[in-house]
Structure 1
Amino acid sequence: MNIKSLLLGSAAALAVVSGAQAADAIVAAEPEPMEYVRVCDAFGTGYFYIPGTETCLQIGGWVRAQVDFGRDADSQSGNDYDMRASALITVDAKSDTELGVLQSFIALESDISVNGAEQGFYADEAYLALGGFKAGWFYSWWDLGIAGETDGLGNDTEFVSFAYTYAADAFSIGVSVDEINGTSANTDIGLAGTVTATFGPASIAILGGYDFDVEEGAVRAIASADVGPGTFYLAGVYASDANVYYDAAEWTIAASYAFKATDKLTITPGIQYWDNVDFVDGTDDFTYGITLDYKPVENLLARVSLQHNDESDDTYGYFRLQRAF
């Protein structure tokens, strides 16, 4: 075999080997594009776009540990104190449409008391809204009160409702149709309406409700104004008789002052007076107390509520730690 034949044979062998290796080579797949979560700032902080949609989602809630004492305590051992915990998870979805903001909101709450006997989540709120319309299970305007923990300005405050609110810069008006737990053969429907107005550092909210089941109603007004280093609140309620919106007394008046002692500490004394309690002529009652709110760090609240009722001569309240997110 001459040198020429040897070279040609070697080249042929290399070509065969190279072809076999090329056939067995692994080709890396092209990476698929990833869609990262985008921040949505159209509706405030904490919202992000659900990937692949134009819907903004916010997840929030709080975790709470609390010790009740006095008449509000519900200890199975019969003690005048009770330690308990609770948690709330909220899911809020919003998107812009040609008819306004479309929203769906869910709040799930769990309460845990002695030995965890009350564990399990339940729907605290569940509603949808479009523009000014709102429908579902949610807290009504009767749930709103003044600063502090002394006042009681509503009876039942959560219903399955259909509501509409028109809001301008310093003015709003709203109406709701509420399903109530009626006890008579009449219509189990309630009707509520509210008007609010803001005048610089002052505001006023007037609310009325009519219970078609018992054919009685109630009217409430709440006013507030910035005074010195805090905010002063004044409220009053009149009811024609006991109804789903208010049933404590024929009329009542309450006041409180949220004093901003420091950036972290707010002190709120309050008082409430009732006349014709339980709609019995000549009966009256009052409660006075104080609420301390301290925020050692952002999103953490320590609250102490201390109240005293004149008619029962009972002192009661709670200590609470709550972390919001």
Structure 2
Amino acid sequence: MNIRMVLLASAAAFAASTPVLAADAIVAAEPEPVEYVRVCDAYGTGYFYIPGTETCLKIEGYIRFQVNVGDRVGNSLTRANDSDWDAVTRGQVQFTAKSDTEYGPLTGVIVMQFNADNATDQDAILDSAYLDIAGFRAGLFYSWWDDGLSGETDDIGSIVTLHNSIRYQYESGDFYAGLSVDELEDGFYKTGEGPNNVGVAFGVGGKAGAFSYQVTGGWDFDNEDGAVRAMGTVDIGPGTLGLAAVYSSGPNSYYSAAEWAVAAEYAIKATDKLKITPGVQYYGDIYEAGDDFSDDDAWKVGLTVDYQIVDNFYAKASVQYYDPDNGDDKTSGYFRLQRSF
């Protein structure tokens, strides 16, 4: 036997006597589960489930650029400084959360608003924050007195319509009726009164075919006066006719512009994108100074034009003329661009 045969035989014997060791298996780590955002269609478009919960969330808002000109007329703000024109920008975002409960949907709303008159004069405010369930609402929200006709001429609301309030509103189809208790800390004050005020308001409204209506009232306990307002709209011809009337027993936080007023407008749907709204209002016994209304009257006329440039982007222009019996007449207006999302 030669050397080569001896080496081969030795190697074979060694291999046979050595245990076979299997190589360690390569095991890939399993990816962690990822929960993608799911659409929630139970409450309308735009809602999605917050991952890991059964709560639906909707995020919406708008960006607005506006140039105001002229004077301040009634309760409407048309300029923010001493110049005869003023450009302002606003960004607003709203978060709405909804979830099902045994009492119906539980709703929470937060609205943040950011305003800029210029680079250094800016503010961020809580525009609304409230919870709502089974018709009950509590928090910071706008009252029924914030509603108005669709144009910009009517001046039939409160000076301040955003209150900390508790409200119950019953709704059935095209009808609603409700009652609220409002903290009126930043409303109208008579001599000797201060920011320790409360009011009670009611709202009733609905639709019947082409006709819609609303009746709103409020009693201001500190000022011991109240106001009531009725509004209605009806589709006639190429547009919508709107009429409103308001009466106040004395200056109060719900209405203080005049003892009584009537307003009318006609919103003309000129095209699918263009709406033209002329309006007029007459004030009887306007408020000027002191604790009561004066014997002077006033009237106001205006025109508002809305144009939808593309989906969710529109332009608005408005001009108003106000003429009191004893006082200087005023002309005001604005031009606005707004993108909603």
* TM tier, smaller: over 0.9
Displacement of 1:237 after TM fit?
Answer: 0.3
Structure 2: tracts of 5 or more residues without a match: 1-5, 73-77
1:250 aligns with 2:259: yes
With 181-190 and 265-274 compared, the bigger mean Cα shift is at: 181-190
Per the alignment, residue 70 of structure 2 pairs with: 70
The one-letter code sitting in structure 2 at the alignment partner of 1:202 is F
The match for 2:95 is 91
Output aligned runs, 1:218-233, within 5 Å.
218-233=227-242
Once the two structures are aligned, what percentage of the paired residues are identical? 47
Q: 1:296 to 1:12 in 2, by over 3 A?
A: farther
Q: How far did 1:14 drift? A: 9.5
In the alignment, the residues of structure 2 paired with residue 104 and residue 7 of structure 1 have an alpha-carbon distance, to the nearest angstrom, of 81
Query: One-letter code of the match for 1:144?
Result: D
- Cα distance in 1 for partners of 2:71, 2:56 equals 44
In the TM superposition, what whole-angstrom CA distance separates every residue of 1:34-64 from its partner, at most 9, and x where no partner exists? 2111101111110001111111000111111
Q: Say which SS state the counterpart of residue 310 (structure 1) adopts.
A: strand
Alignment check: 8 A CA contact 1:222 1:233 kept: yes
- Please name the residue that 1:295 is paired with: 308
**For the Cα contact (< 8 Å) 2:250–2:293, is it kept in 1?**
no
Mapped partners of 1:12, 1:150: distance in 2? 104
Distance 2:137 2:80 in 1: 38
Pair 1:304-2:317 in alignment: yes
CA displacement at 1:143 relative to structure 2:
0.1
Do structure 1's residue 214 and structure 2's residue 223 form an aligned pair?
Answer: yes
Structure-1 residue corresponding to 2:152: 149
Q: Match of 2:34?
A: 34
- The answer to whether the 8 Å contact 1:107/1:123 transfers is yes
- Give 1:5's aligned amino acid: S
Q: Which amino acid aligns with 2:139?
A: G
Alignment partner of 1:169 out of 170, 173, 189: 173
Shift of 1:75: 6.2
Contact persistence 2:178–2:204 (CA under 8 A): yes
- 5 Å-filtered alignment, 1:1-325, equals 1=6, 3-10=8-15, 15-16=20-21, 19=22, 22-23=23-24, 26-72=26-72, 74=79, 78-118=82-122, 120-155=123-158, 156-181=160-185, 184=193, 188-278=197-287, 279-311=292-324, 312-325=328-341
Q: Is the contact between residue 37 and residue 51 of structure 2 (CA under 8 Å) also seen in structure 1? A: yes
Where 2:119 maps in the other structure, the secondary structure is helix
C-alpha deviation, 1:27, in angstroms: 2.1
Q: Which runs of 5+ in 1 are unaligned?
A: none
Return the structure number with greater helix share: 1
Check the 8 A contact 1:186/1:213 in 2, yes or no. no
Residue 15 of structure 1: how far off its partner (Å): 3.6
Give, as a single letter, the amino acid of the residue that structure 2 aligns with 1:126.
A
**For each residue in 1:167-200, what CA deviation from the matched residue of structure 2 results, as whole angstroms up to 9, or x when unmatched?**
0112211000001126638972100011113211
Q: How big is the alpha-carbon RMSD for the aligned residues of Structure 1 and Structure 2?
A: 2.0
CA contact (8 A) 2:238 2:268 kept: yes
Q: Deviations over 1:82-136 (max 9, x none)?
A: 1110110111001111111101100000110133411x42100010111100000
Decide whether aligned partners of structure 1 residues 166 and 5 sit closer, same or farther in structure 2, where only a CA change above 3 A counts: same
Q: Find the aligned partners of 1:75 and 1:194 in 2 and give their Cα distance.
A: 32
Count of residue pairs the alignment pairs up: 318
- Residue 284 of structure 1, CA deviation: 0.6
Does the Cα contact within 8 Å between 2:305 and 2:316 map onto a contact in 1? yes
TM-score by length of 2: 0.88
Q: Following the alignment from structure 2 to structure 1, what is the Cα–Cα distance between the partners of residues 309 and 195?
A: 52
3-state secondary structure, aligned to 2:309: coil
Secondary structure of the residue aligned to 1:40 is coil
**How far apart, CA to CA, are the structure 2 residues paired with 1:58 and 1:111?**
22
Distance in 2 (CA, whole Å) between partners of 1:84 and 1:185 is 31
What is the aligned partner in structure 1 of residue 3 from structure 2?
Answer: none
